[in-house]
Amino acid sequence: MNLFAYDFMQRALVGVLITGLAAPALGIYLVQRRMALIGDGIGHVALTGVGLGLLTQRSPVLSAVVVAAIGALAVELIRERGKASGDIALALLFYGGLSGGVFLVAASHTNANLMGYLFGSPLTTSPADLVVMAVLGGVVLAVALVLRPWLFAICQDEEYARVAGIPVRALNLALATMTAVTVTVAMRAVGLLLVSALMVVPVATAQLVTRGFRSTMYLAMALGVAAAGLGLSVAAQFDTAPGATIVLLALGLFAVLAVAVTVWRRVRRPGSLQLSESEPPDVVLAER
């Protein structure tokens, strides 16, 4: 019997596909800025939002969006003003968000499944959850695609972008907010602790075979959708954890492609496997 004939599986599939599309579209900017781990930090802050929602008997998803956005904006302002280094700001997010979330969930005295928020539970996606994911995912995609030239500029060189008249602060705050929204969108699909992987791994995979920013972005989005859809199918077939299966499949795609690219380069250019220090593998060189 085809499991995707059931309504809950169809909702789960649509939800993970939205996540697989939106997460890499936003994640490429974080990779470009060497902020790949910020998704983890904001994911921990979003857990505090979940706990606040449960404590106040409000929607955990909406409260997670608000709290995660506030946390992301705070980190961006701290980074901009130089009050603390980026790793310290992320540490504050990690520890404060996780401890605050656990504390509030315990204080709410509910029977909420915390594991579902931490590691994803797409099979429990409700119609209301799907509407929220679709709306928020659409907003993330719109910002990532429409503002691509300006976001690319600030990711490459903030000072040059500022001199060129680009509203750097507004774009930085918009990027931070969209990161928080992306984390919340992915909360149901892969969980708050695994969302960063879906934002980063497809981008890293795409960078193995592309050089332009635009081509990397589109390929990363395609890989994210493929990993999400295939991961859910494998999880349904073998009764494994959907979020973990999606991430492991994304990592598997990266490993296979990395080996294939290495072999291809060895065949074409024997003895030239060492990378130039001026072109690290995690940097997209041009927006084309």
Number of domains in the chain: 1
Residue 103 lies inside a defined structural domain of this protein: yes
Of 101 and 252, more confident: 252
Q: Where in the sequence is the domain holding 122, given as residue range(s)? A: 3-194
d(CA 189, CA 139): 17
Report phi then psi at 286, rounded to 5: -150, 150
Give the per-residue pLDDT at 26: 93
User: Does the structure show a pLDDT above 90 at 115?
Assistant: no
Least confident interval from 149-153, 237-241, 275-279: 275-279
- Alpha carbon distance 21, 163 (integer Å): 33
Q: Average pLDDT over the chain, rounded to whole? A: 84
Tokens read off for 37: 């781990």
Does 206 fall in a domain?
Answer: no
pLDDT-derived band at 150 (thresholds 50, 70, 90) equals: very high
Look at residue 227 and tell me whether its pLDDT is greater than 80: yes
Q: What is the spatial distance between Cα 243 and Cα 192, in angstroms, rounded to a whole number?
A: 10
* 237 in any annotated domain: no
Residue 122 lies in a domain: yes
272/187: higher pLDDT: 187
128-145 per-position pLDDT tens digit: 888 988 999 999 999 999
- Going by C-alpha positions, the residue among 198, 208, 222, 218 that lies closest to residue 288 is 218
pLDDT of amino acid 184: 86
Evaluate whether residue 220 is within a structural domain. Answer: no
In a domain, 86, yes or no: yes
Residue 11, in any domain of the structure: yes
Would 50 be classed as within a structural domain?
Answer: yes
Close Cβ partners of 19 (under 8 Å, ≥ 6 residues apart): 133, 137, 185, 186, 188, 189, 190, 198, 224, 228
CA angle 173, 194, 51 (to 5 degrees): 70
Residue 47: CATH number of its domain: 1.10.3470.10
pLDDT in tens, 151-191: 999 988 888 889 988 998 899 889 989 998 998 888 888 88
